[in-house]
Chains A and B, each alone.
Chain A
Amino acid sequence: MLDDFMIRAALGAVGTATAAGLLGCFVVWRRMAYFGDATAHAAVLGVAMSLAFGTGVIWGVILVSVLVAVLIHTLSADAAPMETLLGVVSHGALAIGLVAVSLVPGQRVDLDAYLFGEVLTVTRTDLAVIWLGALAVALVIWRHWQALLTATLSPDLAYAAGVDPRREQLILTLLLALVVAVAIKVVGALLITALLIIPAATARSLTRTPEAMAVVAILIGTLCALGGLRAAIIFNTPVGPSIVCVATLLFTLATISRKLFSSGS
């Protein structure tokens, strides 16, 4: 069954959407979208390093994403003007990555695959990475759900309850790096944040509790992944952007119907 590239693509896209939808809720609640961008952009530098050292791309991506995520986490401790700082890290990392890739000796690299994703070429190994990564993300969030939620609501409430919000923040930061590594093959570095925030934001208008929002975000993410894949085949468009187009369409529909049919809350 896994011999069929379409099946592999579908499994890869669904695995990515599951991890991204779940973690995306926290990205939305904690306003970490820019943070996600910075981590994802840094992944391009990871690609360059992997190519230079001849290792599997996944390892370079994980390494650099984790380093950048921890760097931002450390810098954010003294609450400097974060937005500017994140902008520097985000675009700086992307630019350095693009330059570094061009400097790698040997054959020209198809950079598009890493910037916009190329899910139709996922291998069995890629699938294993995607699903193990998604499983790890789901497991950690499951185990830390209450603590993460308390810390998200208010750091002070967390401290008073014996939960260290800085630790929970670091956990989310590392998970973000993991999701970037999982998603880069599917949607590419430039659109990972979209897969994080759009399904979660769509789920918000349909739900009343954080748990419901997380479940619905995963379902919507899955729907976008399969719908985008299908649309890409029909219209012969790139898969990653097609998935994000479907997500954007669903978000727009949910927002409009909410405005039409409900009066708040």
Chain B
Amino acid sequence: MTLISAKGISVHHRNVSALQNVSLSLDAGEIVTIVGPNGSGKSTLLRVLIGAITPDTGTVTRAPDLRIGYVPQKLAIDPTLPMTVRRFLNLPRRISNADAENALTAAGAEHVSHQQMAALSGGQFQRVLLARAILSRPNLLILDEATQGLDQPGSANFYRQIDAVRQDLNCAVLMVSHELHVVMSASDRVICLNGHICCEGAPDVVSAAPAYRELFGSGTGGALALYRHDHDHHHDHDHA
């Protein structure tokens, strides 16, 4: 069953094209990852899907029972706004203490309920965002580079947490990520975006696609080189 689909989406920011003719659709329970370089329109696409941006052309169709849990890339809480974790979880709807504790536990952030959001570490903060996103028992979890600012063990832990949450809720997951090696192996489908969809498909198929290699392969001087790429063929020094 299709949860959400976008057809022929184009978006311009101040006459600069951010997305051209992008179409995608997500089925229930699917894990889809969007990869692409900076400025490739990944966040723009997510914001179109959650309704924050009205595309210049194209349509977004949502299933009637679609419930989105959204974890933003970052959340800058103004220092003048006092906000405990517990109070934050009450947005946008008030919830019971039991639900709050359950969500925090599921997201791996126990015992922070009474802390100020501003006092949390980066990892705790992301887990609280995740806890808030799953409170509505979403059937689609959308994460926008949710591990930005976390160190490698931290983000690996966070992805394990997402996986646990997904198995618990049995929801679809749509995420944007830079951490290709982690998300590639966990995804059912990968969409490679660079203003338009360069290629998409199963992780194996995409990582072998020329368009993908052009974006992330050795041509980028190793900066974006794919972890998986290092393992799917033998290097010379192995034979030396």
Contacts and interface: CB of A to CB of B under 8 A. Distances in A.
Contacts of A28: 80
Contacts of A201: 80
A146 B92 contact: yes
Contacts of B119: 265
Nearest to B129: A157
Contact of A207 (B69, B77, B82): B82
A163 B92 contact: yes
A81 to B, nearest CB: 13
A146 B91 contact: yes
Interface in A174-228: 200-201, 204, 207-213
B82 A210 contact: yes
Interface string B111-124: 00000101100000
Given A28-B80, A147-B92, A163-B92, A156 B116 contact: no
Nearest to B73: A156
Contacts of A253: none
A146 B93 contact: yes
A31 interface: yes
Which of A147, A159, A201, A212 has the most chain B CB within a 10 Å cutoff? A159
Nearest to B76: A154
A248 interface: no
Interface stretch (B47-55, B151-159, B176-184): B47-55
A161 interface: yes
Contact of B72 (A30, A146, A157, A204): A157
Interface string B139-151: 0001000000000
A156 to B, nearest CB: 5
Contacts of A34: none
B82 A150 contact: no
Interface in A122-154: 146-147, 149-150, 152-154
A156 B72 contact: yes
Q: For chain A, what secondary structure do more than half of its interface residues adopt (helix, strand, loop), or is it mixed? A: helix
B107 to A, nearest CB: 16
B118 to A, nearest CB: 7
Interface residues of A, number: 31
B68 A29 contact: no
B211 interface: no
Given A152-B81, A153-B81, A155-B52, A208 B116 contact: yes
B91 A209 contact: no
B137 to A, nearest CB: 14
A158 interface: yes
Nearest to B117: A153
A146 B75 CA distance: 17
Which of B81, B87, B88 has the most chain A CB within a 10 Å cutoff? B81
B237 interface: no
A208 B84 contact: yes
Interface in B21-72: 47, 50-52, 68-70, 72
Q: Which 9 A-B pairs have the closest CB atoms?
A: A160-B70, A159-B52, A161-B92, A160-B50, A150-B92, A29-B81, A150-B91, A28-B80, A159-B51
Interface of B: 47, 50-52, 68-70, 72, 75, 77-78, 80-84, 87-88, 90-94, 116, 118-119, 136, 142
7 contacts: A153-B81, A156-B72, A157-B70, A160-B51, A162-B92, A163-B92, A210-B83
